[in-house]
A and B are shown apart, each in its own frame.
Chain A
Amino acid sequence: MKTLLQILLALAVAVGANAKEIKLLNVSYDPTRELYQAYNAAFAKYWKAKTGDDVTVSQSHGGSGKQALSVINGLEADVVTLALASDVNAIAEKTGEIPADWQKQLPDNSAPYTSTIVFLVRKGNPKGIHDWNDLLKPDISIVTPNPKTSGGARWAYLAAYAYALETSSHDDAKARDFVKQIYKKVPVLDSGARGSTVTFAQRGIGDVLLAWENEAHLAQKEFGADKFDIVTPSLSILAEPTVAVVTKVAKKHGTTEIAKAYLQYLYSDEGQEIAAKNFYRPRNETIAKKYAANFSQLKLVTIDDEFGGWTKAQKTHFADGGVFDQIYQP
């Protein structure tokens, strides 16, 4: 018995001595800080139990477009978890560090959770904002980030545009004018969703924040449900934040296997639970049902159906000289 204990102790020491310390960099978009703080701890525990190795995941957060540009300019991310596929596509096209078929590497087009855009208003909804058309009331000031840099802002823009299309029999000119009027009411454009939350919730600017659903819930949680209300519009867009391994960087760092596992674990029960607890809509139907009370029911349109996909939407609306540049005058 004593001998067996000695052998087991020696093995434990040997395993401990041989345990590797691995570092990953996850470049993510602005509002996912709390999500990945919880997820990284859970993944580290899972990986330690599975392989004995210690993994530390460093995070970088910012507007999704800005983050993509950072990676294009050389920031060595092992994985990217960005707000929209278009930003991951940009990295793939401009650097070749992500394969062109990256979206097929993981289920659900590499979008392990979804979200949408809702309205965060002052408590009691003093300005009576219930739907997108209420945003055009004369005394309303709107807070939303810059679509040139923020993925959430692009989803919000497209959600507003989609509403206008749906309520005008798909009259593009009317939809364009609708969105133009909305951006006239935006007093300051932050570069990312978290910046806009600070502007609205901490700086007290504006009457309504066009927010990621999770940001709206987190703002209530952090600042108090007695300060803000969440208003669900009649229609919004199904936002699909996507994830990908930056293959060439992971290969250089020797982290390919763990980077893949890191993203795959987002689809596990634990990963999906963490997403749901942080107000991201899980893909797992069982877990989605469990947390259904966290999420409002509303009509969700998709970017594919409404705008022909991200490539077309990016080119039409957000590229230099696109619709946003035409309608927005600072």
Chain B
Amino acid sequence: MKINRWLLGTIIGTQFAFASVAADESATNGDADISALKQQIQELDQKVRVLERKDELDKADAEAAAKKQPLIKLDGNGFAFTSADKNFSVGIHGQLQLDSRTFFENNVAPGADGFLLRRARPIISGTVFHDFDYVFMPDFGGSSTVIQDAFINYHYNPALQLQIGKFKSPVGLEYLQSVKNWAFNELSLASDLVPNRDLGVELHGDLFGGILSYAAGIFNGVADGANTSNSDFDNEKEFAGRIFVQPLKKSGLAALQGIGFGLAGSYGDEAGASSSAGYKTEGQQKLFGYRSTVTGDGAHWRIAPQAYYYYGPFGLLGEYVESSQKVAAGANTATLENNAWEVTASWILTGEKNSYKGITPDHPFDVSKNHWGAVGLFARYAQLDIDSDAFPIFADPTTSAKSATDWSVGLSWWLNNNIRVMTSFSHTTFSGGGSGSVTGQDENTLFTRVQLAF
């Protein structure tokens, strides 16, 4: 039985030994598995880190590339491309004005009723090499195609800029306002006396944060109310300049911040040039014209004190213009001084802030939101007086008025920043002139306009 116990013990011991070896092997295999798993985890961890790092680098490259991409913008101000460094840009804008005019006359020849494409202006503007701006604006409206603006402006800084080309002469306050912001379809009698667009070079700028603006230039010189013909037919040039001050623009007195006043003028010599295109009514009918034999014969100067005031929805603008020109008709010469003035008042009924630079509707037209845009009322009174020495040698008293007085009232509806609908009525009376002509009866005109500007 000792043998059996020994055998049993051996067997048992062997079993234990085998079990122990098996356990060791199992432990070793387990360690190897754990080690392999750890290795795998490390490799996966590295892969994840590498992917994350690649993603970081890709994002950094994408950001760097985005900074070099040109900026493309399309909004209510038109379409614009700008280079990444902002040194170059080109913008496409436009103005479209579809008008109607209805003349209410009694006995003599009426003005021409009808619809007209008053202005159709594609505007290309932009900047090259950071400091050089340019504008090119042809006009396909009316009866002929005209280049209205074509100029380059070097802006060293806002206080000192040099502009060369064809652009608005710096004289008339009403005329210098952007056409899309005019109170009425047409300008007042006062603007008949100011030069329109001319070819020249002008130094201009804004000082003290826009409190003082100045412009001074040399131009070919144009007749009252006329545009340049894009070339000069006399040897003389015209100086034109303007200073305009908004003294309380940055003050804490809100009610007075919108006050602005200034003085503009021009001086030239128009010997040999034709004297004037004449003056026209708001309905664009000729109320005064020099005889065809009349030419400019010397100094032509203008002076134009001007002012405006805007506060909240209220606006008031006024200017006086005196135009003095030496003229000749054969052996007869005279210095004729014509003058005009106008006052325009406006009130934005929907409460938006009124300004010389137009208004922005607080709630653009959107029926679904019960938003209707902005509405404003306008009223204007203007008067034009012709020098009595003009008659009869230099102007025909039967066809040209000695004076004209005009009052106008109008309503504007801005659907949004880009679309405006206007309607107005103007009444003009004349003294002088004969029957059978424009000046033989009062002019009563109803205007409407649908305008798109961007």
* Binary interface encoding of chain B residues 24-60 relative to chain A, with 1 for a CB under 8 A from any of its CBs, else 0: 0000000000000000000000100110111001000
A204 touches B49 (CB 8 A): yes
Shortest Cβ gap from B49 to chain A (Å): 5
Bound CA span A199–B52, Å: 10
Q: Does A30 contact B (CB under 8 A)?
A: no
Which residues of chain A come closer than 8 Å to B57, judged between CB atoms?
188, 190-191, 195
Interface-centre pick from B53, B54, B57 (highest chain A CB count, 10 A)? B53
Which chain B residues lie closer than 8 Å to A203 at the CB level?
Answer: 49, 52-53
What 1/0 flags go to A189-214 for Cβ under 8 Å of B? 01100010001000111100000000
A195 to B49, CA, bound (A): 14
- Which residues of A sit under 8 angstroms from B46, Cβ to Cβ? 141, 187, 205-206
- How far, in angstroms, from A61 to B442 measured CA to CA in the complex? 78
Choice from A190, A191, A205 contacting B49 with Cβ under 8 Å? A205
In the complex, chain B residues whose CB is within 8 Å of the CB of A190 = 57
Q: Quick one: closest B residue to A202, CB to CB?
A: B53
Complex CA distance for A199 and B60, rounded to whole angstroms: 14
How many angstroms between the C-alpha atoms of A203 and B57 in the bound complex?
Answer: 12
- Taking CB atoms, residues of chain A closer than 8 Å to B52 are 203
The smallest beta-carbon distance between A39 and chain B, in angstroms, is: 27
Cβ of A195: which chain B residues have Cβ within 8 Å of it?
A: 57
Q: Which chain B residues lie closer than 8 Å to A205 at the CB level?
A: 46, 49-50, 53
List B contacts of A199 (CB < 8 A).
Answer: 53
Residues of B within 8 A of A204 (CB): 49
A217 to B: closest C-beta gap in Å: 23
Give the Cβ gap from A285 to chain B, nearest Cβ, in Å.
41
Q: Considering the complex, give the chain A residue whose CB is closest to the CB of B52.
A: A203
Closest Cβ of chain B to A203, distance in Å, is: 5
CB-nearest residue of chain A relative to B42? A139
Expressed in whole angstroms, the Cα–Cα distance for A191 and B65 within the complex equals 14
A 125-148 binary contact with B (CB < 8 Å = 1; else 0):
000000000000000010000000
What's the interface size class on A, roughly?
A: 10 to 19
Q: Which A residues are CB-close (under 8 A) to B50? A: 187-188, 205
Which of B421-454 touch A at CB < 8 Å?
none
A28 to B6, CA, bound (A): 87
Give A20 Cβ to nearest chain B Cβ, in Å. Answer: 22
Chain A 150-171, CB-CB to B under 8 Å as 1, else 0, gives 0000000000000000000000
Q: Which residue of A lies closest to B61 (CB)?
A: A191
A188 to B53, CA, bound (A): 8
Which B residue sits closest to A207, measured CB to CB? B46
A195 vs B113: C-alpha distance in the bound complex, in angstroms?
Answer: 75
Write the nearest CB–CB distance from B64 to chain A, whole angstroms.
10
Q: Which of B146-171 contact A (CB under 8 A)?
A: none
CB-defined contacts of A188 to chain B, threshold 8 Å: 50, 53-54, 57
- Taking the nearest CB of chain A, how far is it from the CB of B43, in angstroms? 9
Nearest B residue to A141 via CB reads B46
Give Cα A195–Cα B56 distance, bound, in whole angstroms.
11
Q: List chain A residues, Cβ under 8 A from B54.
A: 188
A187: chain B residues within 8 A (beta carbon) = 46, 50
Contact with A along B269-284 (1 / 0, CB 8 A): 0000000000000000
Q: B417 to nearest A CB, angstroms?
A: 38
What B residues does A206 contact at CB under 8 A? 46
Residues in B with CB closer than 8 Å to A141 are 46
What CA separation (Å) do A191 and B46 show in the bound complex? 20
In the assembled complex, the CB of A191 is this many whole angstroms from the nearest CB of chain B, namely 8
Complex: A199 Cα to B46 Cα, angstroms: 11
Distance in Å from the Cβ of B448 to the closest Cβ of chain A?
54
Q: Chain A: which residue is nearest B43 at the CB level? A: A139
B51 to chain A, nearest CB (A): 9
Least Cβ distance of A100 to chain B in Å?
30
- Chain B residue nearest to A190 (CB atoms) is B57
Q: Which residue of B lies closest to A199 (CB)?
A: B53
Q: How far is the CB of B57 from chain A (nearest CB, A)?
A: 7
Q: How distant is the Cα of A188 from the Cα of B50 in the complex, in angstroms?
A: 7
Interchain CA distance A187-B54 in the complex, whole Å: 9
Q: How far is the CA of A111 from the CA of B50 in the complex (A)?
A: 35
| B85 nearest CB neighbor, chain A only | A74
- Give complex CA distance A204, B45 in Å: 10
With both chains docked as a complex, state the minimum distance between the C-beta of A222 and any C-beta of chain B, in angstroms. 18
List B residues 297-345 near A (Cβ within 8 Å): none
A191 to B53, CA, bound (A): 12
Bound complex: CA of A188 vs CA of B49, how far in Å?
A: 10
Q: Determine which residue in A141, A187, A190 has the highest number of CB atoms from chain B within 10 A of its CB, and name it.
A: A187
Question: Shortest CB–CB separation between residue A143 and chain B, in angstroms?
Answer: 10
User: From A187, which residue of chain B is reached at the shortest CB distance?
Assistant: B50
What CA separation (Å) do A204 and B52 show in the bound complex? 11
How near does chain A come to B98, taking the closest CB pair, in angstroms? Answer: 48
Q: How far is the CB of A73 from chain B (nearest CB, A)?
A: 10
Whole-angstrom distance between the alpha carbons of A204 and B46 in the complex?
8
Q: Which residue of B lies closest to A189 (CB)?
A: B57
| A-facing residues in B50-104 (Cβ within 8 Å) | 50, 52-54, 57
CB of B41 to closest CB in A, whole Å: 14
**Chain A residues in 8 Å Cβ range of B49:** 203-205
Of residues B46, B50, B54, which shows the largest number of chain A Cβ atoms within 10 Å of its Cβ? B50
The CA-CA distance from A205 to B46 in the complex, in Å, is 6
Residues of B near A191 (CB, < 8 A) are 57
Q: How far is the CB of B21 from chain A (nearest CB, A)?
A: 32
Instruction: Return A148 CB to nearest CB of chain B, in Å.
Output: 13
Chain A 70-93, CB-CB to B under 8 Å as 1, else 0, gives: 000000000000000000000000
- Complex Cα distance, B54 from A190, in Å, reads 9
Assembly CA distance A27 to B49 (angstroms): 31
Complex-state Cα separation, A205 to B88, whole angstroms: 43
A203–B49 alpha-carbon span in the complex (Å):
7
Smallest CB-CB separation from B47: which chain A residue?
A187
In the complex, A204 Cα to B53 Cα: how many Å? 10
Q: In the complex, A126→B192 CA distance in Å?
A: 93
- Contact pattern, B 196-217, Cβ under 8 Å of A = 1, otherwise 0: 0000000000000000000000
In the complex, which residue of chain A has the Cβ closest to the Cβ of B50? A187
Q: CA A187 – CA B43 in complex, angstroms?
A: 12
A329 to B54, CA, bound (A): 16
| Alpha-carbon gap, A141 to B53, bound state (A) | 14
Nearest CB in chain B: distance from A220 CB, A: 21
Specify the chain B residue showing the minimal Cβ separation from A186.
B50
A190→B50 CA distance, assembly (Å): 11
A211 to chain B, nearest CB (A): 17
A205, B50: Cα distance in complex, Å = 6
Q: What separation, in Å, do the CA atoms of A189 and B57 have in the docked complex?
A: 9
The 20 listed contacts between A and B (C-beta, < 8 Å) are A141-B46, A187-B46, A187-B50, A188-B50, A188-B53, A188-B54, A188-B57, A190-B57, A191-B57, A195-B57, A199-B53, A203-B49, A203-B52, A203-B53, A204-B49, A205-B46, A205-B49, A205-B50, A205-B53, A206-B46
Taking A199-B53, A206-B46 as known contacts, 14 extra A-B pairs with beta carbons closer than 8 A to each other, sorted by chain A number, are A141-B46, A187-B46, A188-B50, A188-B54, A190-B57, A191-B57, A195-B57, A203-B49, A203-B52, A203-B53, A204-B49, A205-B46, A205-B50, A205-B53
Q: Which 5 A-B pairs have the closest CB atoms?
A: A187-B50, A205-B49, A203-B53, A188-B53, A188-B54
